[in-house]
Amino acid sequence: MNQSPNILLIAGSAEAHEIATAMAAAGVSARAVLRRAERSFGPLAVPSEIWSPRDVDEVEAYLRVHKFTAVLDAGHGFDADISQIAFGAAAQLNLPYVRIVRPMWDITAPAERAASVAEAALMIRSKARVFAATGRGTLDQYHPFSGARLYLRQTNAEARSALPPFAEAVFGQPPFTRAAEAELFRRLQIDTLVLRNVGGAPSRPKLDAALDLGLRVIVIDRPSPPAGAQALHGAEAGLRWIETLPRKGVGL
């Protein structure tokens, strides 16, 4: 007999919120997990908790305890480690898994590309004044810093942890506009921007502002989905995937 799906939603993106809202409206059983508290969105429409699993076994145990029947991974595009272990756990239990990805920006010259924050850090020139939008957790990857100053965007003003001498936090809350980003870069005398290719319109203004000003731009490529995993673009594709799962009495 077909049963209603019980979905583990890995959240951390705007797409996850769209999917959660649709599932809640349709009565689909689901629970969401997030690696970190979100700053730009309201609460998810399904029950959720903050959780950062360490390995495949931990996720497998979680899937068993909650009797999940599928894993829909709409986590942050750069949380590749979470995606990898979630895919591995789903495979061990023979559960359907899908990774929702957002189309990346098309990066062309004069912008430069790097495979990681560590690689981008090696590309920073002596005396450069760098604005980095790569997340507080990436700061260690800039050691040793070869530039003059690193300005690190932080959107959580309460997370005022100590920074190394070469770095300074720049606090702000999205949405950010192209004009405001350009003014910020001028005020801080920025000559280099380092950012992650997260795709989408909300994060694009800083890239466009930097290109407008003729700044050096280093864009970090998004990690690929787990090898062998199904990957779909956008929330709508994720909702269609849910429709393919065994169910009884629910519909999107």
pLDDT of residue 252: 58
DSSP 8-class letter at 136: G
- From residue 1, alpha-carbon distances to 71, 163, 247 in Å are 21, 57, 9
Q: What is the domain extent for residue 51?
A: 6-103+224-243
**Block mean pLDDT (10 aa), the chain, length 252:** 81 96 96 84 91 95 97 96 98 98 94 98 98 93 95 76 90 92 99 97 96 98 97 97 76 54
pLDDT of residue 249: 43
Task: Give the count of alpha carbons within 13 A of 125, CB side only.
Answer: 11
Same-domain status, 137 and 188: yes
- CATH number of the domain within which 25 lies: 3.40.50.11190
- CATH number of the domain within which 139 lies: 3.40.50.20
Q: What's the domain count of the chain? A: 2
pTM: 0.89
* Alpha helices (H) along 66-213: 80-92, 117-123, 178-188, 205-212
Same-domain status, 179 and 144: yes
Judged by DSSP in three states, 144 sits in coil
pLDDT of residue 161: 72
214: in domain: yes
CA–CA gap between residue 138 and residue 70 (Å, rounded): 31
Contact 103, 222 (CB under 8 A): no
Same-domain status, 231 and 202: no
163: in domain: yes
pLDDT of residue 37: 80
pLDDT of residue 136: 86
